[in-house]
Every structure is written in C-alpha cells, then in structure tokens.
Amino acid sequence: MKKLRMGMVGGGSGAFIGEIHRIAAAISQDIQLVCGAFSSDRERTLQTGRLLDLEADRCYGSYDEMFARESSLPKDIRMELVAVVTPNHLHFPVASAALEHGFHVISDKPATLNLQEAIRLKEIIEKTNCLYALTHVYTGYPLVKQARHLVERGELGNIVKVVAEYSQGWLATKASETSKQAAWRLDPARSGRSCCIGDIGVHAANLIEYISGLKITALCADISTVVEGRTLDDDGTVLLRFDNGAKGVLLASQVSVGDENNLRLRIYGDKKSIEWSQLDPNTLWLRSNSEPTQQIRTGVGEMSPAATRAAYAPAGHTEGYLEAFANIYKNFSAQIRAQRNGRDCDNNSFDVPGIEAAIRGMAFIEETMDAGQSSLNWMPFSLTAEMSEGVVGE
C-alpha cells in the first residue's frame, strides 16, 4: 500500500509542534510528507524543505499557492491531507481553504480562533465531504483508552465526581515571554480570548469527556492573569456539572513553578475510581473501598481492543507523547482509507477527535472565559478578621 501523501502549513525549522506532527506521522508508518508551506518567509520554507529532503518546487511561499498548485498535480502525486500547525488565528482560514480544495485536514488544537469559526468549519466539512481530525493527543494513550473501556463496561458504577489538573510552570515569569512559543500564545490576535484555558485547559476538558462519556452542561470559573502586564490568562479553576448530575473541578495553570506537563485525571464512581497521569502514562490506577488497589500497566494482561491497538511495544518499553500523537495520525489515515473504499468512516468508529470535539472545545474555552468575567457566583466570606479574632479569643 502506498503511503498517504501529506502537506504541512506552518512548522518551519525550530517550531516545536510542527516537528512533533512530522515525527508522529512517521511513527504511524502510513503517511509521507511531500510538500509544505512552512513559513510566510519563502526562504525559510525552502530551508525547512531542504532539511526535510523535499523537492524545492513543492516548498511553497503560502498555503494558497500550495493548495492551488497541488490541486493541479496528477492524483497519484498530489498531497491528500494537510497538517495545520500554525498559531490559532490561522487554523480556520488554512483548514477551510484546504477543505475547499478537496484535501483532508488534521489540525492542531484549538480548531479555530472562536466558536463561530468552528461552527462554520463544520458546515464546510459537510459540504466538501472531506475528513477532519483534531490532535487532542492525550486521547491517543493506550491506558486512556483502557480507562474509557473500564467506564463503558460499568467498572466504576455511576460517576459522581471528576477532578482534572493540567499544570505547567513555563510561563511563571515575565522573562518567559521572550520565547516564540510564548509570544503568540499571549497575543490575543493570534491566540484568541485565552492563553491558559485555550492552550491546556481545553485538553483537560476533552480528556474528561472522552474517558467518562459525560458531557459538561454547566460551569463556574475563576480565571486569573498572575504575571503582571499580560493581556491573557495564565491560571484558572473551573467547577463543572455533567449531564448525569456528577460534579467536577478542572485546574489549569501555566504559572505553577516546577511543574512540567502535569496532566492528571481522577474519575470517581460509586463503585470504583480511576487515576491516570501524563507524567506516568503507562500506569492506570483502579481503586475501591473493598478491594486491593489495582495497578494496570500498558501491555500487561488482557486489554481492550482500542488499548491494544494503541500500544507499539511490548510491556516495559516506555511509550509516551510521540506514540500517543502517532495514534491520532494512524487512526486518521485508516479513516481516510475507509472513505476511499466507500466504507463507513465517521470519527467515532475510528476513534478520531473530529469537528464535534472541536466545537465542544471552542465552546468550553469561550464559556469558561465568560464565566471567569462574572462575579455572580462569588459569595463573600462572612466571618471578618475582627470576628475571627474574637472567636479565637474566647
């Protein structure tokens, strides 16, 4: 089978997420990068192309040029899908243009700059009949899929509580803003309404819904800008309500000094609970009040079909972020091939985060920011300092 041919918009040499996408596509073993518009600077695009051993005439100065030229090539040569790895403000224009030219799209998250664009993107996907994937990478881990399986088969019972934390420390100081990665994330014109919630909080929200099967129905948020002088948020706490009546809390922070990429999720049912951490991704904990705690390890014992397919190596061979990312690509390529062969190719069947996840993600970001600007749910603490001292004195 010939590999699927992929183009890339963004991801010039030195860009973090572009390189991650290229590695993930390679690990999937079913995708080959054949062209790109890696930068708005044509010389930088050519430089990146040379490093990637691409033909110079397939390294384009803009994504419009790339889509027009690639569309004119013979079908057995032209690219078939496009990876969108730009800052947020370009996600919609690039993805929509790619879809209109007949190319499938795999995009970094969030899908768009705002909810209105995400809804419009769904309309374009439906009109063009092209496929769309969103790289909510943490859904790609084998034990995340196993956790979902445990919930689906009722191991936890009725879910009553969810606690999610995603904390980083890389934006804890003003000095951190000098990096290219920080600059666009803290710029409303390129990032959108949010930095912290839009960058990492939405990952936690997606992971909650993916594993639990629940849908967020209401929220209350306390959103902060800790580092003075910033326009966008760098810290937030969100209270959640779900469609089964369960409650939850989501903590997101990019000013938690010393934290690397600390994504952690706990889901409590009325029978058992589970805990998973991205810092130890090959371990899933299953706990109850009446049985010994069970440590589930990637590749050990009988796993769900989805978890088994997501593992690349035998037990004890550590797999992590790159392999999880590759699983999004692997599943998306299978989805594309299914459509090509006239088979059912909906996102759920192929375990691919799609436009519905994209819309829910944008809604979460916007509604969290709206809630964070409201003080309606805050109650003053009625016990004043003077009253407290009096109580202590007695």
Write down the mean pLDDT value for the chain.
95
- Band of residue 319 on the pLDDT scale cut at 50, 70, 90: confident
Q: Please state the domain extents for the chain.
A: 4-137+347-354, 142-317
| Predicted local distance difference test score (pLDDT) of residue 386 | 63
pLDDT one-digit tens code per residue, 335-361: 999 999 999 888 999 999 999 999 999
* Structure confidence at residue 384 as a pLDDT band (50, 70, 90): low
Contact call for residues 213 and 223 (beta carbons, < 8 A)? no
DSSP readout, 5-62? EEEEEE--TT-HHHHHHHHHHHHHTSEEEEEEE--SSHHHHHHHHHHTT--GGGB-SS
User: Which of 66-75, 144-153, 380-389 has the least mean pLDDT?
Assistant: 380-389
| pLDDT tens digit sequence for 85-101 | 999 999 999 999 999 99
Domain 4-137+347-354 has CATH 1.10.3720.10: no
> How high is the pLDDT of residue 389?
66
27 in Cβ contact with 21 (< 8 Å): no
Is the pLDDT at 312 greater than 80? The verdict is: yes
User: What letter represents residue 49's amino acid?
Assistant: G
Res 377: pLDDT = 73
Q: In this predicted structure, what is the pLDDT of residue 385?
A: 58
Percent of the chain whose predicted confidence (pLDDT) is above 70 = 97
Q: What is the Rg, in whole angstroms, of the alpha carbon atoms belonging to the chain?
A: 22
**% residues pLDDT > 90 (the chain):** 89
Q: What is the pLDDT of residues 29-78, one digit of tens each?
A: 999 999 999 999 999 999 999 999 999 999 999 999 999 999 999 999 99
201-217 average pLDDT score: 98
The pLDDT score that the predictor gives to residue 126 is 97
CB neighbourhood size of 341 (10 A): 8
In what helix (H) or strand (E) does residue 182 lie, and over which residues does it extend? helix 180-185
What tokens appear for 60 in the block? Answer: 């384009």
Rounded CA separation 253/237 (Å)? 8
Supply the pLDDT for residue 248. Answer: 98
Give the helix/strand (H/E) hosting 91: helix 91-100
pLDDT tops 90 at residue 268: yes
Query: How confident is the model over 297-310, as pLDDT tens digits?
Result: 999 999 999 999 99
- CATH code for the structural domain at 142-317: 3.30.360.10
Gap between the Cα atoms of 188 and 195, Å rounded:
8
Residues 122 and 54 sit within 8 Å (Cβ to Cβ):
no
User: Read out DSSP for 278-309?
Assistant: TTSTTEEEEEESSS--EEEETTSS---HHHHH
Q: How far, in Å, CA of 183 to CA of 10, rounded?
A: 16
**Does pLDDT of 365 surpass 80?**
yes
Statement: residue 393 has pLDDT above 70:
no
Residue 250 pLDDT class (50, 70, 90 cuts): very high
State pTM to two decimals: 0.94
Alpha-carbon distance of 133 to 108, in angstroms, equals 9
Burial 148-182 (b: 16+ CB within 10 A, else e): bbbbeeebbeebbebbbbbbbbbbbeeebeeeeeb
Residues 279 and 359: their CA atoms lie apart, in Å, by 28
